[in-house]
């Protein structure tokens, strides 16, 4: 079955430091992959997506992610974290049939 694993439940990063959030997927074909962000009390907002082509994709708010087929990974990165980036981050895979399966999320905490 298709699945998404986010191995880190929470991560703390100092403001201004770089960030990498891990995501591994299990899917037989070429996946459609997504990263969403959820601020407290809010819905989910799309950060970026990968469908095909260039394996390094750029998103909003200075985020990027790299698709690595050999590692079944789609890690999210940001070179310099801002305090406003503190939120819950979800990786997701489109399993076909118009269904997104989400990972369990990684909570990002930003320290001063």
Partner 1 sequence: DTAVSQTPKYLVTQMGNDKSIKCEQNLGHDTMYWYKQDSKKFLKIMFSYNNKELIINETVPNRFSPKSPDKAHLNLHINSLELGDSAVYFCASTPGASGGMNTGELFFGEGSRLTVL
Give the interface with partner 1 as residue ranges (CB under 8 A): 32, 34, 36, 38, 41-46, 49, 51, 88, 90, 94, 97-102, 104-105, 107
Q: Which is nearer to partner 1, 4 or 110 (CB)?
A: 4
Q: Which is nearer to partner 1, 15 or 24 (CB)?
A: 24
Q: Smallest gap, in angstroms, from Cβ of residue 86 to partner 1? A: 14
Q: Smallest gap, in angstroms, from Cβ of residue 29 to partner 1? A: 13
DSSP string of 26-78, one letter each residue: E-SSPPEEEEEEE-TT--EEEEEEE-SS-SEEE-GGG-EEEEEGGGTEEEEEE
| 72-94 residues labelled b (16+ CB within 10 A) or e (exposed) | ebbbbebeebeeebbbbbbbbbb
Q: Which is nearer to partner 1, 79 or 96 (CB)?
A: 96
């Amino acid at each position: 079955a298709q699945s998404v694993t986010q191995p880190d439940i929470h991560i703390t990063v100092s403001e201004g430091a770089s960030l990498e959030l891990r995501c591994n997927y299990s899917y037989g074909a070429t996946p459609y992959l997504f990263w969403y962000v959820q601020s407290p009390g809010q819905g989910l907002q799309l950060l970026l997506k990968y469908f095909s082509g260039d394996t390094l994709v750029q998103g909003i708010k200075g985020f990027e992610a790299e698709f690595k087929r050999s590692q079944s990974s789609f890690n999210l990165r940001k070179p310099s974290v801002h305090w406003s980036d503190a939120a819950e981050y979800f990786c997701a895979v489109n399993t076909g049939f118009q269904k997104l399966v989400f990972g369990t999320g990684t909570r990002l905490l930003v320290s001063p």
